[in-house]
Amino acid sequence: MDEAFNQAKQRVDELITILDRYSYEYYVLDQPTIADSEYDKLYQELLKLEEAYPTLVQQNSPTQRVGGTLLPGFEKVEHDLPMLSLDNAFDLEGLRAFDQRVRQLVDGEVEYQCELKMDGLAVSLKYEEGRLMQAVTRGDGRVGENVTGNVRTIKAVPLTLKQPVTIEARGEIYMPKSSFIKLNSDREEQGEDVFANPRNAAAGTLRNLDPRVTASRNLNIFLYSMVQYGTLEIETQSQALSTLNDLGLRTNPERAVFQSIEDVWSYVEEYQEKRANLPYEIDGIVIKVNHFDRQEQAGYTVKAPRWAIAYKFPAEESRTVVNEIEWSVGRTGVVTPTAIMNPVQLAGTTVQRASLHNVDLIKERDIRLHDTVFVRKAGDIIPEVIRVDFEARPENSEPCQIPTHCPACSSELVHLEDEVALRCVNPKCPAQAKERLIHFVSRNAMNIDGLGEKIVIQLFERQLVKDVSDLYGLTKEQLMTLDKIADKSADNLLQSIEASKTNSLERLLFGLGIKHVGSKAARLLAEKYETIDTLKTAELEDIQSIEGIGEIIAESVAAFFELEAANELISKLKSFGVNTTYTGVKPEERSTVESVFNGKTVVITGKLEHFKRNELKESLTLLGANVTGSISKNTDILIAGADAGSKLTKAQELDIPIWNEEQLLEEIPD
C-alpha cells in the first residue's frame, strides 16, 4: 500500500508540473506544444489519481481551478502597499507638462516605459514560494476584496510560478472582445440583462459568487507591475515585466521604452489607430519612468505616483437622431428593440442601427422617438446608444410606447420572473419558427450550404416549411418557385440538404436550438451519449455531471426532451433519414487516429478554395491535430491558401513545412 501510494504521489507531482507547463505554453505564450487530446488524457490521469488518493490533492493542482460551491461572500483585505490611481493626460501638452515635472524631480537622463492601458479590473496576486496564495481586487486602493477562488479559475493565471519566489504582482483582469460579444448575445437571447462593456462584464464575472460562472466566461489577464519581489534583482519597469514573463506570468507584449516624450506621443498616436483591431479593449496608454531609482526620486502625491501618468484616449462618440424603434422576435421568443438612426461614422464604419437590448434600458435612459442621442461602439464593436441630448428633445416628445403584444403573432407579451426581456411565449409564433429555421441551417449547426437567410425566409413566408423537418421534404419544383432559384441552383440546394442528413449528432443538437446549449455543450453531450435516444432518457444528475455542462444546461436539456413537440420533431427528422448518432472521434480515441496530423500543431492562413476554415479546423482536430492561430517554433505545419501574409513569411523564416490545398486534399480522407 505504501509503495503504491508513493508511486501515485510521484506521478501526481509529475503530472502537475507537466500540465502547468503545457497550460503556460497555451494560455500565456499562445504557443502550444501538445495536442488538446494529449492534454486531456494527462488531465484525466491526474483526476483519477486524486480521486483514488484524496490526500494527494494539492492546492496548486490544475483540477482545483474550478470551484464546485458557491462562495459565501468576499472578505475585505488591506493591501500591504496601496494600489494608487494615476493622474491623467488628455493631449500632447499634458504629456509635455508631465515630462517637464519629471525631469525637474530626478537626476540624470529619463526614459519612459509605455504600456497599453487595459480597460478591466485591477488585481493584486500574491505568491509565496512560487504558489498562488491570494488575489485581491483594487477596491478603494487601500482595502480590496479577496477573489482568490475566482482568479484561480482563470487559466492564464499560473497556480505555481517557474521559480519558488515570494512576490506580489499587480495587473488587469479583462474580458476579450469576442467573449464579451458571445456573453451578451447569449444573455440577450435568454432574456437576461446585458453588460454595458467588457470592463463591466469582467468586473461582474470576477465578483460572481459562483466560481463556475467565472470559469465559463473566458477572462484573461495582463500583469503590469511587481511591487514586492523579494530577493530578485530588478532595477527597471521593463526588467520587471521581463521577469514576470520568465516566472510564467502573462504580460502584454505591446510595450516599448522611449527616451523622449515626442516618441511617446508617436506611440500614443499609433495605438489610437490600432485600438479597434486589438482583441481586447484599451482606453489609453500608461507612461512610466522606467528606472526604479528615478521613480523613488520623483516620489508620490497622496493619491498617485509622480513618475507615471495615464494618457486617456478621447471617447469615440457620434451624435445622431432616432427615427424609429424596431421590435424583433428571436428564436427563443425574446423581443428586442433596435434604434434606427440617421447614419453616422463610428470607429471607421457607417452605423445606422443600435440595439437597445430591453425595455428596462429604454426606460433607464429615457430614449424616445426623434431624440438626438450619442452612440458609441461597446467593446469597439457593437453600436449602442449611451445617452440622450435632452436639451435637443422636441417639446412634443412622448415616452416610447412599449409593445404589449408580439409584433409577429399578436400574442400578449410577458415578463417572465428574473428576466429583463419581454418574451412571446406562443409556441406557434411565426417569427420564432423562422429564426429557428435560420439557426438550424447555419454554418455551425447543420451547415446547409446555399440555404441562406433570404431563401429560408421565402420558404417560410410561402408556407413551404413550417418547422426544420420540413426542409427534408422539399422538392425541386417547390424550390424553383423561389426568387432567383433556377434548375441548377435547385439541384445544388437539394444536394446540400441531403448531405446534411449525415451530420454528426452534435450539429443536430446545436441546430435544434435547445435553450443554453451552444456548440461546445452540444459536442460534449454528443460525445457522452452518442445517440439522441440515449440522451433523451439520461438522468438529470448524469447530464449535470459532465464537465462543462452544469446545472442550468442540464435542466434545459431535460426539459426540452420532456416536450411532446420536441419528440415529434425528432421522430419526423428520423423519418427523413437525418442521422441522430455521434460520428466524430471520441476524445480518448483522438490520439490513436492514424493520420499525418495526429499530435501535430497546425496553423491555417490565407484564402481557401476547397475548404471552409471552420470545417477544416474541425476535420483536422478530429484527425488529432492541435489547430492554433499563431506561428511559433513549435508549429509543425502551416496550411497556406491564397494571399497568405505575415504567417507565411514567419513560417519560411522558421523553416516550418508549408502545405498548399492540393497536399491537404491528399491527406484528409473523404
- Residues taking part in catalysis: 117
- What's the CA gap between 162 and 170, in Å, rounded? 17
Can you tell me which residue has the cell 491526474?
A: 46
Contact 144, 136 (CB under 8 A): yes
What is the largest distance, in Å, between two alpha-carbon atoms of the chain?
86
- Least Cα distance to 81 among 144, 132, 133 occurs for 144
The helix (H) or strand (E) run that includes residue 556 is helix 550-562
Query: In the structure grid, which three cell numbers stand for residue 18, read together?
Result: 507537466
- What's the CA gap between 346 and 293, in Å, rounded? 44
Q: Is 108 left (phi over 0), alpha (psi -120 to 50) or beta?
A: left
Q: In what order do the strands lie in the sheet with 88-89?
A: 88-89, 308-312, 282-289, 112-118, 255-258
- What's the CA gap between 58 and 132, in Å, rounded? 12
Q: Render the burial of 94-113: b for 16+ CB within 10 Å, e for the rest.
A: ebeebbeebeeebeeebbbb
Query: In the structure grid, which three cell numbers stand for residue 457, read together?
Result: 425566409
φ, ψ of residue 537 to 5 degrees: the values are -100, 5
φ, ψ of residue 329 to 5 degrees: the values are -110, 125
Contact 540, 561 (CB under 8 A): no
Q: Is 329 left (phi over 0), alpha (psi -120 to 50) or beta?
A: beta
**What contacts 426, CB < 8 A, 6 or more positions away?**
333, 406, 409, 411, 432
Contact 508, 580 (CB under 8 A): yes
- What's the CA gap between 52 and 414, in Å, rounded? 51
